[in-house]
């Protein structure tokens, strides 16, 4: 095969993700949409039944079922073996794992035999406590050696990993959002959204409206927001709060909700909720770099958020920092949200600045370009260092042994890395 023929072979990227809803699923979908648009063969392996498989297919990716549970249960061995079989079948140039479970199963299965980028999307050991946290941290420290890059969505995330003893070849590419879908909403768009959204029936059209978009679970901190809301309502008469999303904490949250709080359920079109809002609030306990503040700001809506990983890097400089509050502090959250809802001129000042900031620094097209340069650098390093053919063997399953996939990947010629990628690499 000639050099030109080899270059004409499209690159294949195999994405693995256990989360099939929420922010991780949206990041993967946006990424494969950008990859297929430039001719990359993108394959997404994920559990069936969630939004990710449907949306990734609509974005042009091939989708393969990879049944996997969120927790590292005894079925992990089988999950890793099935993942290895998928690698053998797809024969990717590079595997990109998303979140803790996929990173665990694939790095166990591949042990670095296939070029691998692991993206934590927030550290699992920060989301749990006790023995589970210690085991998660031990695993991240051990498995970092089997990733060509650990890709963080924020500098904060990288620093937390380093401070926790994870020694990796790091890269940082900030999250981005689709600024064509999420775009500034004027007063006419706000009025249309408030009329069109059924959950707002009966809410006065000019009532100050705070919107919280996210899975109803402990991570997103809606329980803290509900504790803060009575003070907000006292300071801003007529204010309404809408929780948009569903999840395991819905019943508990509904039973604790004070007056003036609505539950809208899951929404396909969150852009309409951002358009309807006067302010968007995200009271998370932990994140990597949350998409909701970026989406809201792209729509021209000011944001109140907790100072978790990635939050400060999301917000524009200046007065927006005043609305970054400590996590699990309902009084600080109430003060910040009330001051924003009670001050229309301030909201009108911050909204356009927020939209401009997202267009300049968090457009998903820029994110995809940086990830593509990262892939190119990884593959160029592998091409320079590895034999022309790489063979992966699978031993018969034995108790106590880690699974290895059976796969034989063809040799390929990969492009040189883009020099700008090195700005995002820390070794």
Taking the chain (427 residues) in consecutive chunks of 10 residues, what is each chunk's mean pLDDT? 55 95 93 95 94 95 90 75 94 96 91 95 83 85 93 94 95 96 94 95 94 96 98 97 96 96 93 97 95 97 95 86 92 97 95 95 95 96 71 39 38 35 36
pTM of the model: 0.84
Task: Please tell me whether residue 136 adopts helix, strand or coil conformation.
Answer: helix
Does residue 330 come out as left (phi exceeding 0), alpha (psi in the -120 to 50 range) or beta? alpha
Asked if 424 and 370 count as a contact pair (C-beta separation under 8 A), the reply is yes
Paired residues of 243 in beta bridges:
212, 263
Asked if 47 and 18 count as a contact pair (C-beta separation under 8 A), the reply is yes
pLDDT of residue 387: 60
Residue showing tokens 């993206």: 119
pLDDT of residue 349: 93
Domain map of the chain by residue range? 3-176+364-426, 187-361
Q: In whole angstroms, how far apart are CA 347 and each of 276, 277, 279, 297, 303?
A: 14, 11, 8, 11, 9
Domains 3-176+364-426 and 187-361 share a fold: yes
Give DSSP secondary structure letters for 242-273: EEE---TTHHHHHHH--TTEEEEE--S-HHHH
pLDDT of residue 135: 85
pLDDT of residue 9: 72
Rg of the chain's alpha carbons, rounded to an integer?
Answer: 22
pLDDT digits (tens, 9 = 90+) for 300-353: 999 999 999 999 999 998 877 789 999 999 999 999 999 999 999 999 999 999
pLDDT of residue 354: 95
CATH topology for 187-361 is Rossmann fold (3.40.50)
In a 13 Å sphere around the CA of 305, the CA atoms on its Cβ side amount to 27
pLDDT of residue 132: 80
pLDDT of residue 321: 75
Does CATH place domain 3-176+364-426 in 3.40.50.2300?
no
pLDDT digits (tens, 9 = 90+) for 61-84: 999 999 987 766 666 788 889 999
pLDDT digits (tens, 9 = 90+) for 110-134: 999 999 999 999 888 877 778 888 8
pLDDT of residue 127: 74
Q: Which phi and psi angles does 209 have, rounded to 5°?
A: -125, 120
């Amino acid at each position: 095969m000639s050099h030109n023929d080899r270059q004409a072979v499209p690159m294949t990227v195999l994405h693995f993700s256990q989360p099939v809803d929420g922010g991780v699923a949206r990041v993967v979908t946006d990424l494969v949409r950008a990859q297929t648009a430039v001719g990359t063969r993108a394959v997404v392996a994920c559990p069936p039944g969630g939004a990710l498989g449907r949306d990734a297919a609509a974005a042009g990716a091939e989708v393969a079922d990879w049944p996997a549970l969120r927790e590292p249960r005894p079925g992990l061995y089988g999950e890793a073996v099935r993942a290895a079989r998928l690698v053998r079948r797809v024969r990717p140039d590079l595997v990109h794992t998303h979140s803790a479970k996929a990173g665990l199963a694939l790095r166990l299965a591949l042990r670095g035999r296939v070029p691998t980028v692991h993206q934590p999307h927030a550290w699992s050991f920060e989301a749990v406590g006790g023995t589970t946290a210690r085991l998660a941290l031990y695993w991240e420290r051990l498995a970092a050696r089997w990733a060509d890059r650990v890709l963080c969505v924020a500098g904060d995330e990288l620093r937390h990993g380093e401070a926790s003893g994870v020694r990796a070849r790091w890269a940082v590419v900030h999250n981005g959002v689709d600024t064509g879908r999420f775009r500034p909403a004027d007063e006419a768009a706000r009025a249309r959204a408030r009329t069109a959204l059924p959950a707002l029936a009966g809410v006065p059209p000019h009532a100050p409206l705070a919107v919280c978009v996210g899975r109803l679970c402990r991570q997103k901190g809606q329980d803290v927001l509900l504790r803060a809301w009575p003070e907000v309502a006292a300071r801003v008469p007529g204010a309404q709060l809408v929780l948009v999303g569903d999840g395991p904490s819905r019943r508990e949250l509904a039973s604790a909700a004070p007056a003036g709080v609505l539950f809208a359920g899951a929404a396909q079109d969150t852009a309409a909720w951002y358009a309807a809002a006067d302010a968007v609030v995200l009271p998370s306990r932990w994140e990597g770099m949350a998409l909701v503040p970026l989406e809201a700001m792209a729509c021209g809506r000011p944001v109140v958020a907790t100072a978790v990983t990635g939050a400060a890097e999301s917000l524009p400089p200046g007065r927006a920092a005043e609305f970054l509050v400590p996590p699990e502090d309902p009084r600080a959250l109430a003060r910040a949200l009330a001051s924003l809802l009670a001050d229309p001129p301030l909201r009108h000042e911050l909204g356009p600045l927020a939209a401009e900031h997202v267009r300049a620094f968090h457009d998903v097209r820029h994110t995809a370009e940086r990830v593509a340069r990262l892939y190119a650098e990884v593959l160029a390093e592998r091409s320079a260092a590895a034999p022309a053919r790489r063979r992966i063997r699978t031993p018969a399953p034995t108790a106590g042994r880690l699974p290895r996939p059976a796969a034989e990947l063809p040799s390929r010629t990969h492009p040189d890395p883009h020099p700008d990628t090195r700005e995002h690499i820390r070794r």
